[in-house]
Structure 1
């Protein structure tokens, strides 16, 4: 068992609670993105024990974070929204130099790659102007809403693995975010189980697709990932604070996010070798 993955999962779990912040981006920062995809893709293979040893502690850390910090995250977003969001802006921007090294942009990127970055960045940024579905949180399951919650969990988990796209933000757009957060805060096991089942199925399907694309179209995928990450900054940017104290605190939290990203990013992480 790779028990150090508990703390990695804990960090990923915190960010998965926040709309706009991608768990996939955090996996890149922690240097485990390729391993994560390989482990999820291989969990049903003959080497499932090895992959389980990677995923189980990671999942445990994610679960601990979600169950223990959902109320804390709710409080921070409601009462200290701008400084909290600026921390994650710094965290996301801080991973870009690492991604640039991984992709070796100067050597491998051509005009088409930069066009893809701009297009995907603008496309994702435009979702910031989409009004999320306004729905009452679901507290009791029936046949219809169970199917809807399962499919929402599936969609959210597919986004979760793509750096730059937040699974929580997808749930927000689908009108399920308040239901998911409420279920975690109040330990509503049936709703957690249904959404969780959708998440698991989505992870199994999307991990194989993303792994294939990273292997066979590496540079194109890196360009796409960079574009998505840049677009996600627009989504979570909370605006300029209105008073001097808030500006100072937001600058500090932004710098803290940058420092955390730089400290955790691993330049020795294995590059995916392929042609694009």
Structure 2
């Protein structure tokens, strides 16, 4: 078992609780993105056993974090929304140089790749202006809302694996983010299981698709990924902080995010 993946799962779990922040981005930052896709895809094959050592500690870290820190994240977003978002903006900005280096942008990108990057970044950024569905917290299941929650989990998990696209943000747009956070905070097992089933199915489908595209259309996929990451900065940008304490806290949080990104970039290997 690769027990160091517990702390990696911890970081990915925290990021997936923040609307606009992607666990895929954190996986890229930690240098495990390719292996994550390979392991998830391989887990649903005949060679599933060899991927357990990588996935189980990662899942433990993510699971514990999502359950334990759902209330913490909810508290931070309610009381320190701007500093929290600026910390993750720092993380996202910090990962861009690593990804561009890994993609070999200067050597491999043509005009078409830069155009694709730009279009994807703008497309994601414009989602910031989409009004989320009216929020009604679901506490009991019916066939109709169970189906909706299942597919919401499916779409959210597909977003989780794409750097720059937040599964939580997708849930927010679909109007079920508050329901999921409430279910995690109150241990509402029927809702957790329903959304979790959708997440599992989404992981199976999307991991295989993304792995295939990265293998056969590597440079184009890197252009898409970099575009998604850049666009996500606009999505989670909380606005310019007021002068005084909020401004200082946000600047410090931004710098901390950059420092943390640099630290993980140095130790990811």
- Alignment TM class, shorter chain as reference: over 0.9
The aligned counterpart of 1:12 is 12
Distance 1:29 1:8 in 2: 10
The aligned counterpart of 2:31 is 31
Residues 130 and 164 (structure 1 numbering): CA distance in 2 closer, same or farther, change over 3 Å? same
Any residues of structure 2 matched to 1:189-208 within 5 Å, and which?
Answer: 189-208=189-208
Normalised by the length of structure 2, the TM-score is 0.98
Distance 1:136 1:157 in 2: 21
Normalised by the length of structure 1, the TM-score is 0.95
Distance 2:267 2:230 in 1: 20
The aligned counterpart of 1:139 is 139
The aligned counterpart of 1:187 is 187
Paired residues of 1:31 and 1:266 also in contact (CA < 8 A): no
The aligned counterpart of 2:228 is 228
Shift of 1:265: 2.1
Shift of 1:244: 2.4
Distance 2:177 2:9 in 1: 20
| 1:111-134 deviation per Cα after TM superposition (whole angstroms, max 9, x unaligned) | 111111111000000000001001
Distance 1:139 1:268 in 2: 40
Q: Is residue 67 from structure 1 mapped to residue 67 from structure 2 by the alignment?
A: yes
Paired residues of 1:165 and 1:232 also in contact (CA < 8 A): yes
Distance 2:267 2:220 in 1: 20
Distance 2:246 2:178 in 1: 27
Shift of 1:248: 1.5
Distance 1:113 1:48 in 2: 35
| 1:122-161 deviation per Cα after TM superposition (whole angstroms, max 9, x unaligned) | 0000000001001211000111111111010000000110
Distance 2:261 2:76 in 1: 20
Structure 1: runs of 5 or more not aligned: 270-276
Q: How many residues are treated as equivalent by the alignment?
A: 269
Q: Tell me which protein shows more helix as a share of its residues.
A: 2
The aligned counterpart of 1:112 is 112
Distance 1:266 1:50 in 2: 28
Residues 138 and 33 (structure 1 numbering): CA distance in 2 closer, same or farther, change over 3 Å? same
The aligned counterpart of 1:169 is 169
| 1:46-98 deviation per Cα after TM superposition (whole angstroms, max 9, x unaligned) | 22111122111111100111111111101110101111100000000100000
The aligned counterpart of 1:251 is 251
Distance 2:159 2:195 in 1: 14
Distance 1:110 1:267 in 2: 31
Distance 1:83 1:234 in 2: 15
Deviates more, 1:239-248 or 1:140-149: 239-248
Paired residues of 1:18 and 1:73 also in contact (CA < 8 A): yes
Distance 1:100 1:20 in 2: 21
Paired residues of 2:44 and 2:204 also in contact (CA < 8 A): no
Structure 2: runs of 5 or more not aligned: none
Distance 2:266 2:184 in 1: 32
